[in-house]
């Protein structure tokens, strides 16, 4: 195939298309940019079109790859259908899906968690990956290839009292990774990256003095740099992982290890 002939060690995603939710900033932007550098065209989906457009422009300027910005609130079921139709209408295929969009709103006490907050967290962190994996995954399977990468969290296995709805949603995401791997194989691989504390823009809201104290107990003694997610993402997105599916890979500096 022409795509296979063009694909080399420097362009392992040549001829492929990657759709990244939450792709306008943070880890999503890092992964989308890395995919484009590896030869892929990318779809950048996030709630605010202006941020998606800025990210897409930056990616194209850096990599000379096509980058399509799409405004999508992933917590809304009908917008997910529209996102998939837009991606396929523009490119004709999607080869890599990254379910990266997420949220973990703060709350004072567990009793203060409202039904609205709970439902929003579940919708964005669990319902959206389920629906997108079903929509895109079935098309990937029919096309004969594809890779789905879910972005979970160490909260799925070691949730703090401050993030219980989020941790529960991410634990569910870990679980469906295995289910989708069975449902969509052998053509489609489905894996999860479970990040620990990464120093993205989200860290601006952290108590950094407290974080630095806590980090002394981490095996690697620090938070992650955004670019340190790229190796795991490229592994799952490319043919380097052709015999890996249903896996959950912690990229967390060892913070999920038992104390």
Nearest to 239 by CA among 4, 67, 53: 4
Active site (annotated) includes residue 235: no
CB hemisphere CA count around 99 (13 angstroms):
35
How far apart are the C-alpha atoms of 3 and 26, rounded to whole Å? 30
Helices (H), 106-163: 115-122, 128-143
H helix count then E strand count, the chain = 9, 7
DSSP classification of residue 10 = S
Task: Take residue 191 and report the two structure tokens written for it.
Answer: 């894996």
Burial (CB count <10 Å: 0-12, 13-18, 19+), residue 46: buried
- Cα–Cα distance measured from residue 39 to residue 18, given in angstroms and rounded to the nearest whole number: 10
Which of 88, 107, 166, 235 does the annotation list as catalytic? 166
Contact 43, 87 (CB under 8 A): yes
Rounded-to-integer distance, Cα 25 and Cα 27, Å = 7
Question: Catalytic residue numbers?
Answer: 166
């Amino acid at each position: 195939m022409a795509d296979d002939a063009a694909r080399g060690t420097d362009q392992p995603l040549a001829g492929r298309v990657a759709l990244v939710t939450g792709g306008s900033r943070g880890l999503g932007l890092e992964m989308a940019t890395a995919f484009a550098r590896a030869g892929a065209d990318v779809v950048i989906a996030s709630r605010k079109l202006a941020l998606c457009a800025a990210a897409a422009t930056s990616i194209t300027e850096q990599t000379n790859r096509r980058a399509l910005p799409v405004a999508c609130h992933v917590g809304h079921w009908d917008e997910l259908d529209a996102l998939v139709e837009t991606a396929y209408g523009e490119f004709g295929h999607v080869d890599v899906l990254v379910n990266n969009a997420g949220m973990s709103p703060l709350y004072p006490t567990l009793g203060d968690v409202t039904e609205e907050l709970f439902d929003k967290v579940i919708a964005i962190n669990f319902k959206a990956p389920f629906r997108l994996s079903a929509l895109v995954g079935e098309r990937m399977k029919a096309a004969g290839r594809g890779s789905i990468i879910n972005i979970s969290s160490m909260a799925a296995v070691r949730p703090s009292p401050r993030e219980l709805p989020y941790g529960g949603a991410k634990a569910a995401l870990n679980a469906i990774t295995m289910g989708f791997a069975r449902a969509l194989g052998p053509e489609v691989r489905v894996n999860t990256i479970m990040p620990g504390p990464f120093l993205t823009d989200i860290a601006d809201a952290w108590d950094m003095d407290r974080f630095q104290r806590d980090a002394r107990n981490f095996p690697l003694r620090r938070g992650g740099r955004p670019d340190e997610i790229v190796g795991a993402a490229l592994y799952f997105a490319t043919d380097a992982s052709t015999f890996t599916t249903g896996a959950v890979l912690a990229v967390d500096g060892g913070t999920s290890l038992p104390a």
